[in-house]
Amino acid sequence: CMNYMLPLSYAWGNFSVLAVGIWAIVQRDSLDAITMFLTGLLLTVLTDIIHISIFYPSHAYLSDAKRFSIGMAIFSLLLKPVSCYLVYRMYRERGGE
């Protein structure tokens, strides 16, 4: 997000899901909050794949800062299925079906 290689929709989407995640953690009894967080995580997996595939720079324009930025975006994308699994377990603990 700090290298401005990916568009603002990438940052807005991920930070919005982060805000909903904080809401889901703070309100421990809310099933709606955890459902919205899980849905947001699943949606950002899809949009992250689209953003990275469309805005990946060519090799000639790939500086070290851009390489690090895109590496962190890919690393975040790889960790999201683990996060989805953990949030799903939280959803089941709160009484979700």
The pLDDT mean for the chain works out to 89
Q: pLDDT for 18-41, tens place per residue?
A: 999 999 999 988 899 999 999 999
Claim: this prediction has a pTM higher than 0.75: yes
Q: Considering the domain boundaries, does residue 76 fall inside one?
A: yes
Helices and strands (H and E) in the chain: how many: 3, 0
Q: How many structural domains are present in the chain?
A: 1
Q: Considering the domain boundaries, does residue 12 fall inside one?
A: no
Q: Considering the domain boundaries, does residue 3 fall inside one?
A: no
Q: Considering the domain boundaries, does residue 34 fall inside one?
A: yes
Q: pLDDT for 1-14, tens place per residue?
A: 667 788 888 989 99
Q: Considering the domain boundaries, does residue 37 fall inside one?
A: yes
pLDDT of residue 14: 92
pLDDT of residue 64: 84
Q: Considering the domain boundaries, does residue 70 fall inside one?
A: yes
Q: Which pLDDT band, with edges at 50, 70 and 90, does 84 fall under?
A: very high
* Residue 79 belongs to domain spanning: 29-95
- What 46-51 contacts at long range (C-beta under 8 Å, 24+ apart), as own/partner pairs, is 47/9, 47/10, 47/13, 48/10, 48/13, 48/14, 48/73, 48/76, 48/77, 48/80, 49/77, 51/6, 51/7, 51/9, 51/10
Alpha-carbon distance of 42 to 93, in angstroms, equals 19
